[in-house]
Amino acid sequence: MKKIHTFHIPVMGTGFSLDTPLKVAKYGISSVISLVDDTLIEYVRKFYCERYKEEYVAITKKDEDCRARRITEYLNLIDRIVKRQTAELKSSAFEKGSEITKYFELLPDFSPFKKLYKTMLSTEDQLTKKKLQNELRESVEAGSIDVNIMTKLDATSYGPDNEKLPEEFSDALAALRGYAKSTLSSALVLSAGFNRKLYGYLENFKDFYCDKAGQIKKKIVLKVSDYRSCITQGKFLAKKGLWVSEYRIESGLNCGGHAFVSKGFLLGPILEEMKNKKNELLSGILKVYQETVKLKNKMLCDAPPEPEITVQGGIGTFEEDRFLQDYYHVDGTGWATPFLLVPEVANVDEPTLEKLRVAEEDDVYVSDVSPIGVPFLNLRGSFSDLAQEKRTQEGHPGSSCPKNHLTFNFDFTDRPVCLASRQYQKLKLEQIEKFPEQEPITTPEEVVVKTCICHDLGAGILLKNNIKTKEKELNSAICPGPNIAYFSKIMTLEEMIGHIYGRFNALNEKYRPHMFVKELTMYMDTMIKQMKKCKCTLTEKQIQYFSEFKKNLLDGVTYYQDLFTKAITGAKENRERILEELKGYKEKIENLEFSPRNPFHPTDNA
């Protein structure tokens, strides 16, 4: 598949990008659908079947393999509609305001298709113009309709008799099966870590293998944090004859949604290592793959296409985007958070959209609201949080847990429950009241902060499209990255893409730190936050952890100082300010000392 755009739109929550392919794929833009919430998917499938006059037959929770079937039917519907949209676009006239004109106007100016389009516009000879138009029509290609499975969200499923179902019916495996059986030719993005059971399950579906012609109908994309993750997971899959088509590097903190925090490893040094070791990475994985093909499956291609390396997380300017591609030689970038301000693309209800538009830097914070125990980028004052606070104040903390996707805790029950559920929070609060000194010490505030993100993250698409559901109340949760503070305008698709390609400036007047510096500050703040959670006395293990964290941050600052001194980062105008910021952060980090007495513990500060 030829590259139409140099960026993609990553998955956003469970519902914000659930139907994004219907808005952007016809223009050659790839985007990613979340497969977490099959109940939400079923509501949206019904909505679009009615809109596009397609027959809708409900798949209920009582139907066999309902989760996988719901996902398959929804993805098949999206596939059909996008193919229809693309065919209509290709047949439209080259005139002002037409779909095919919009397709080529959106392309970057350096695209060969954009250059051909401009040549066609300037051609006066009608026969030549017609010939060029036909050539342009043939070049039109839809963006990829990719899907995401968050590997940690793999709750066990139970049947109507309350008996545990076989492992292939767990959330992640059922979602994989749903995608595997769909008609899509696209990519599966696996994020949030290594799930051996899920990765092994890929072997059951032929669409994930590279055929003799070198084609893969359903490509595997790994969202990873560093070089080590790439080689570990890539080799694991290669031993099964499965080839990874893309390694998608994401900032651990400067992103939206769940933040998978490392020990201070920063994005710049990670990308530098990827650039320097790319050949070593690919040759090592290819060797394992070819050995597998030779021994196990000679029907597979032994020379698969070279995988791409892409990056996402915190990118906010054309200069940053181009630098990442030019200096680190990445094959593309991901832009998510700013698209939340583009109603044509993302599903954000109007009140939440206004909260995003006026958000300041302090309004986006790394929170503890996620029930899976992973830091979560949250918007302060979201309707989900306000509803949770109200329930707590009224003496009814927790959620009714209508979806059961994050049920992992067995502390009080035989069947797993969610930490955000009313059941768990009631029992946990009772335990704290009865045994306040029980180890590990948990405060009531730490219990009730957990919110029902798997349900509330899907509220936006329902509210925006006025989709009726069985739920009495919908309270939107939203998970932007810090970048949202620097965008304060509701944008059109043309404006947002113009910003990505340097044709339009969508930033507000606030000073925006370089993406690398922003991530550095977030890691420094996170390390201090982690220390504040520790007791008065740090253990030897904690001292070792924080010392390693500090060293990695200082190594990263040194790397950035050298990088920005060279003035090759596309940030020449702000170079002096950036270097001054780095100097200040370096001094702060160097002054952090780790001894048994914890200087950040509230008791000591009193």
**pLDDT at res. 72:** 98
pLDDT surpasses 60 at 539: yes
pLDDT surpasses 90 at 41: yes
**pLDDT at res. 568:** 64
- CATH topology for the 7-338 domain: TIM Barrel (3.20.20)
pLDDT surpasses 80 at 603: no
DSSP H or E stretch at residue 246: strand 244-250
- Per-residue HEC secondary structure of 299-368 comes to CCCCCCCCCEEEEECCCCCHHHHHHHHHHCCCCEEECCHHHHHCCCCCCCCHHHHHHHHCCCHHHEEEEC
DSSP conformation class of 376:
E
Give the pLDDT confidence of 168-181 residue by residue, as tens digits: 999 999 999 999 99
Supply the Cα-derived Rg of the chain in whole angstroms: 25
Helix (H, G, I), strand (E, B), or coil: what is residue 459? helix
Average pLDDT over residues 29-54: 97
**pLDDT at res. 605:** 43
DSSP conformation class of 214:
S
Helix (H, G, I), strand (E, B), or coil: what is residue 226? coil
Specify the range with the lowest mean pLDDT, choosing from 43-52, 103-112, 482-491, 526-535. 526-535
pLDDT band at 573 (very low <50, low <70, confident <90, very high): low
**pLDDT at res. 405:** 81
**pLDDT at res. 155:** 84
d(CA 595, CA 189): 42
**Residue 122 in tokens:** 């300037």
Percent of the chain residues past pLDDT 90, beyond the cut:
79
d(CA 389, CA 546): 33
**pLDDT at res. 602:** 61
Facing residues of 147 across strands? 33, 188
Which residues lie below 8 Å from residue 372, measured CB to CB, with a gap of 6+?
A: 152, 153, 258, 406, 408
- H-only helix segments in 55-124: 66-91, 99-106, 112-122
Rounded to two decimals, the pTM is 0.94
More confident of the two residues 74 and 375 = 74
The full set of domain ranges for the chain reads 7-338, 514-606
pLDDT surpasses 50 at 451: yes
d(CA 101, CA 548): 54
Residue with tokens 């959209």: 353
Give the pLDDT confidence of 402-420 residue by residue, as tens digits: 888 888 888 899 888 999 9
Compute how many other C-beta atoms are within 10 angstroms of the C-beta atom of residue 298. 9
d(CA 154, CA 150): 8
**pLDDT at res. 606:** 37
DSSP conformation class of 526:
H
Percent of the chain residues past pLDDT 70, beyond the cut:
98
Give the pLDDT confidence of 336-375 residue by residue, as tens digits: 999 999 999 999 999 999 999 999 999 999 999 999 888 9
Average pLDDT over residues 432-438: 83
Helix (H, G, I), strand (E, B), or coil: what is residue 270? helix
Compute how many other C-beta atoms are within 10 angstroms of the C-beta atom of residue 382. 24
Which residues lie below 8 Å from residue 272, measured CB to CB, with a gap of 6+?
A: 328, 559
As a whole number, the mean pLDDT across the chain is 93
- CA diameter of the chain: 87
d(CA 124, CA 122): 6
Give the pLDDT confidence of 242-283 residue by residue, as tens digits: 999 999 999 999 999 999 889 999 999 999 999 999 999 999
d(CA 456, CA 20): 19
